[in-house]
Structure 1
Amino acid sequence: MGAMAKNKSYEGSGPSQRQLRVGELIRRALAEILSRGDVHDPDLNRMSITVGEVRTTPDLRIATAFVLPLGGKGKDDVLKLLAKNKGEIRHAIGKKTGLKHTPELRFRLDTTFDQMDETRRILNQDHVRQDIEGDE
């Protein structure tokens, strides 16, 4: 019971080191596979795709990749093409990483850049700049 109770107390405290390590391993492999055009889909290979982050579930069965096409054009297409080819991509990730069990892949748009742009926009507003500069 000691180990179980210990693990339960960490729920909600963020990903474990193992999740972070496996997520980064998959992110690197996925980025390399996509940049080298290792998938047999000419439409997918024509796209430049950034893989910002990969998050895994605690049991490492599902990996969610946050992706964005270069320049932000073709966001809907990139998700459809990745979903269509996820079996081949999963197989390639398994070979490249040597993981015993390659997680099921899910793809989501990476909105980090949009959030950063919005934050910059807010910080550049006159009344916000005045507040910030007034604090210094």
Structure 2
Amino acid sequence: MANKRFSSGTGPSQRQLRVGELIRRTLSDVLNRAEIHDPGLNRMSITVGEVSCSPDLKVATVYVMPLMGSVKVEEAIEALARNKAELRHRVASELTLKYAPDLRFRPDETFDRLDETRRLFSDPKVRQDIASPEGDDEDDGDA
């Protein structure tokens, strides 16, 4: 019998979601308390929006965004990447995982997608499709 190592589902497993959320909270706490020995990183106010883990939990992609445009996203990602080893050590010490995941930092584009979704919903053609008249499918009850 073949042993399936990874689920064939399209989305992440419950374990991936749970570990991703634990990593997100840990990184948020570490960045909030300014525990990293880098004054440049400690001056930045960075939001950790989401963490997605690979199926084997060895790679964690961290989606970050500086708050209120205080610094450019590229600068924040560069500072986080520069301190990746220390951040990885903090995550490993907080969580009981077999392997400390490799952290990869990416810009969080959730807000950009949200703006695009709002723009689509405000389009008159889309509003027309959404606002269907009530009672089209109902019988008059004259039977």
TM-score of the alignment, normalized to the shorter chain, above 0.5: yes
Shift of 1:131: 3.0
* 1:21 lines up with 2:18 in the alignment: yes
Shift of 1:135: 5.3
Aligned residues between the structures: 133
Query: Structure 2 residue aligned with 1:45, among 42, 45, 65?
Result: 42
- Equivalent residue, structure 1, for 2:126: 128
Counterparts of 1:90 and 1:133 in 2: how far apart (Å)? Answer: 49
Deviations 1:32-53 (A, max 9, x none): 1111111111111111111111
- Equivalent residue, structure 1, for 2:29: 32
Shift of 1:126: 3.0
* Counterparts in 2 of 1:12 and 1:39: CA distance versus 1, 3 Å: same
Deviations 1:61-97 (A, max 9, x none): 1111111111244111011001000001101111122
- Equivalent residue, structure 1, for 2:138: none
* 1:64 lines up with 2:61 in the alignment: yes
Moved over 4 A (4+): none
Counterparts of 1:60 and 1:132 in 2: how far apart (Å)? Answer: 40
Deviations 1:9-42 (A, max 9, x none): x324221121111111111101111111111111
**Of Structure 1 and Structure 2, which has the larger fraction of its residues in helix?**
1
Counterparts of 1:15 and 1:134 in 2: how far apart (Å)? Answer: 35
From the CA coordinates, give the structure whose radius of gyration is larger. 2
Over the aligned positions, Cα root-mean-square deviation in angstroms equals: 1.8
Counterparts of 2:76 and 2:102 in 1: how far apart (Å)? Answer: 18
* Counterparts in 2 of 1:135 and 1:117: CA distance versus 1, 3 Å: farther
Query: Quick one: percent identity of the two aligned structures?
Result: 54
